[in-house]
Chain A
Amino acid sequence: MADTKIGNLPTDVVTLADGDKFPIADASSLGIDTFATALELKTYVNTAPVYAAGSASANTWPKFTSGTLLTTAEDGAIEVDADCFYGCTDAGNRGVIPIRHFIRADAARTLANQTASQIIFNSPTNGTITLETGTYLFEGMLYVTGMSATSGNFQVNILGTGTATVAAWLWHAFGIDSSTPTSANTQTGTFAITSSSAASVVSATTGTAIGVQIKGTFEVTVAGTLIPSLSLVTAIATASLNIGSYFMLERIGSTTVASVGQWT
């Protein structure tokens, strides 16, 4: 390093090295013959950092840039690829950190009086989510009252009229078709390997309400929308989706992912 006065430093190093020295005036003694290295400054900045609050404007919140995952996962590392965030608390054993998307009924919603497929959620209005390609894990719970007393309940179609191309479905629905699903009763249900369950999704009875849990996975091979929907077996004007009903999903990898973690 040239022995140059500060006012005569014309060159930007562009990339700092750990050992690069910064002249500092020490806070306590105001000594002027002191320096700190770039590594020491880095340690200072990364010790108990408090990330400033962002705003609604772009580029105001902390971000990770997606890259190539470590060949050997490192304890404490947070990584991001094109599909997921990953964390590691067990050297070598990387795991997916779920980023969950959901929609739920914050108010009861009267369903349309029809047997044709209809969206389950309407807040926001279209009950639609746009998804990138990848493998997704999903779950949900639906509770509908005011249904017809004719035997039957509804078919659930996770994709609905969405535009995504979706494959590799495997999901399970189970619950109770009864006028009082809040009472202990036999659970019935269906597994599905397509976007739609059987109609009825649980064993049909003449009960006028249904509670059903759903969970499974699918692959989005062509990006597009997903519109969780249902088709009433018997149309009725009083069918109402109960508050608390929800649908949640998270991407767990690419369309070909078979495992994450220290599997051998």
Chain B
Amino acid sequence: MPNLKISELLNDATAVAGGDKLPIADASALTINTYTTALEIGTHATTAPVFAAGTASANTWPKFTSGTLLTTAEDGAIERSDANFYGCTDAGNRGYIPVRHFIRCDTAKTLTSTVAQQQLFDSPAGGAITLMRNRTYKFEGMLYITGLDAAAASNALIDILGAGSMTVGQFLWHAIGIDGTPTTAASRTGSFAITKASVASIVTGVANGNLAISFKGSFENNSADDTGTLIPSITLVVAAAGSVAIGSYFMIEALGGVDPVTSVGQWT
């Protein structure tokens, strides 16, 4: 390569090609008669890269730009659609990488003594999450509530949407648990739901002040925009100042984006 002056470089290549040559001064000898190709720079940059720590400021962390998924999933590829990240460790068999949102009680939460619907979580205060429309979501959770009315053979209704503004559909979920002394082995009861709300009582009612349930299911967010909220809530059958125990949680992740989502992976 001629020993040109910088000022003699007039044209911007704009798009770099793998074979483009760049003069380099070799690190050890500082010789000037060597070059490297853009491809070689790319190989150097992608060998054991260490991505620098980002900060709280915008555009400081690595990002994937959403695009069109490969027609045939490639081993080792990480892809990004509008809805999800995907990974593949089995050529052709792409899977989604869960991105999980959750809320939990890090301290016990005292319920309001009312039979009106009320939110389950309050940290942050509203116990509400905003989710993107036109996505299918999988959710799960666990609730352990003490201090309910001990005389009535009933417990509560759980409403996944609560007073949230989201337009939801295609609910299918299952709750299993116990109205009794949850730490003592006993029969589980429960219910399935195909709407946002369970029956009341969500598990078979017993005259006991404790309720513990596990639940899991999925639904679609068919909202007209991306501002819809979900507020997991409870409606007590009998008013009582119950307490939602530490560790109680609700977790949610998108399964896919464009309705309908029926599968991810090498299903045929």
Contacts and interface: CB of A to CB of B under 8 A. Distances in A.
Interface of A: 1-7, 9, 21-28, 31-37, 40-41, 43-45, 49-52, 54, 59-72, 74-80, 86-90, 92-98, 135, 137, 168-172, 174, 186-193, 197-198, 200-204, 215-218, 252, 256-264
B21 A24 contact: yes
Contacts of A63: 48-51
B186 interface: yes
Nearest to B1: A25
Given A49-B46, A65-B51, A168 B247 contact: yes
B260 interface: no
Given A44-B16, A77-B61, A65 B53 contact: yes
B99 A89 contact: yes
Contact of A258 (B12, B43, B105, B253): B105
Contacts of B103: 258-259, 261, 263
Contacts of A52: 43, 46-48
A86 B45 CA distance: 23
B268 interface: no
A40 B15 contact: yes
With a 10 A CB-CB cut-off, give which of A25, A33, A52 has the most chain B CB atoms: A25
Contact of B104 (A26, A87, A257): A257
Contacts of B267: none
A262 B61 contact: no
Interface of B: 1-23, 25, 32, 35, 37-38, 41-43, 45-66, 80, 82-85, 97-106, 121, 123-132, 142, 144, 176-178, 182-188, 212, 214, 226, 229, 245-249, 251-254
A41 B41 contact: yes
Contacts of B19: 27-28
A76 B45 contact: no
Contacts of A34: 9-13
Given A34-B12, A217-B104, A98 B98 contact: yes
A5 B50 CA distance: 33
A189 B188 contact: yes
Q: What 4 A-B pairs have minimum CB-CB distances, sorted nearest first?
A: A170-B247, A261-B101, A67-B53, A27-B19
11 contacts: A6-B23, A21-B9, A40-B16, A45-B42, A93-B130, A95-B101, A186-B187, A189-B188, A258-B106, A260-B100, A264-B128
Given A70-B56, A187-B188, A24 B13 contact: yes
Contacts of B251: 137
B185 A72 contact: no
Contacts of B2: 32
Contacts of B97: 87, 97
B17 A27 contact: yes
B54 A70 contact: yes
B48 A188 contact: no
B184 A198 contact: yes
Nearest to B129: A263
A26 B22 CA distance: 9
Nearest to A135: B104
Given A95-B99, A168-B106, A89 B129 contact: no
Given A23-B9, A45-B42, A252-B102, A62 B48 contact: yes
A200 B186 CA distance: 10
Contact of B7 (A3, A22, A94, A264): A3
Contacts of A35: 9, 11-13
Nearest to B33: A7
A65 B50 contact: yes
Given A77-B61, A193-B183, A259-B124, A67 B54 contact: yes
B61 A261 contact: no
Nearest to A187: B188
A189 B48 contact: no
A68 B6 contact: no
Contact of A264 (B9, B25, B126, B247): B126
Contacts of B246: 168, 170
Contacts of B17: 26-28
A35 B179 CA distance: 73
With a 10 A CB-CB cut-off, give which of A86, A169, A189, A197 has the most chain B CB atoms: A189
B12 A95 contact: no
A1 B6 contact: yes
Nearest to A34: B11
Given A1-B6, A70-B60, A95-B99, A45 B11 contact: no
Contacts of A22: 22
